[in-house]
Each structure stands twice: as structure tokens, then as C-alpha cells.
Amino acid sequence: MNLHFGTPKDAEIWPGLWDEIDGLAGQGLSLVNAHRDYFIRQDTPSRMYDDGMYWYKLFLFIYAVSIAQLHNENPGATPTPGTQESILDSLIDISEYTSVVPGDIYKRNWEALAQFLLAFPDFSRNASQRLKEFRKPWKGSDT
């Protein structure tokens, strides 16, 4: 399946899939945070591609699974609110790095975030509040 074109609406989402995604996002964010100085540099094209396209592929995957979740009729596959919030936190927190040099990785991050919020609208208010605090460093940063 080519994830650039989404996923079929009737794709299977199995119980535990969102927990696996949460684990991947959490581990990936921890590694990026551990190497913050490397990933936050603005003097080169986005270094978010230097991880073997890990985040790029994960953003596409979250986007595609979120589409499937919107059309899923298996209530056993719906993640817990804690898992939903954890994934949302990872998508927002990684934005600090994807926005350093805006480009395709930035777009994929925000596509995944938007589609995730369509699948789980109960967290839209929380995301909106967190995103208001988010600052785009290439637009008039005073630091």
C-alpha cells in the first residue's frame, strides 16, 4: 500500500494497534529529545530525515490509520483516552523539530495531527490550546 494516497476506509484496525503506534511515537520522540542539539539546528535542511525517514513514515502511518479509524466499526480497536492523549502529545511535541526548516516533513506532521484529531475530536480543545503555545521559529522569533 502506498501511504501517500491514504488507506481504504475498510482497512482493518486491530486491538492494540494504537498502543503500538503510541510506543513508536514515544520512543522516537525520546530519541530526538536526547539529541536535541542535532535536530533543532536551523543551518541545514531538516534533520528529521536523517533518522532513516522514521518520522516521515510514522506521520504517513498515523494519517492512514486515522482515516481507517474514522470508518472503523470495531469498538475493541478504539484506543483508550490515555493512548489517544499520548499520541497527540507526541505529534504536537515533535512539531518543534519539524518546523525548524519548514518543508514536507512539517506538512506530514500537520497532516497526521489533523487527521488524528478528526478521528478523535474529543481532544481538539486540548490540541488547540497546546498549539496556541506553539511558536513557529522562522516567523519573527525573538531568540
Q: What is the pLDDT of residues 52-76, one digit of tens each?
A: 789 999 999 999 889 888 887 677 7
- Return d(Cα 32, Cα 81) in angstroms, integer: 25
| pLDDT the model gives residue 2 | 47
> Domain limits of the chain?
15-133
Q: What is the pLDDT of residues 87-116, one digit of tens each?
A: 999 999 998 888 877 788 889 999 999 999
- Using a cut of 0.75, tell me whether the model's pTM lies above it: yes
In this structure, the number of other CB atoms found within 10 A of the CB of residue 115 comes to: 20
Residue type, 79: P
Judged against a pLDDT cut of 90, whether residue 117 lies above it is answered with yes
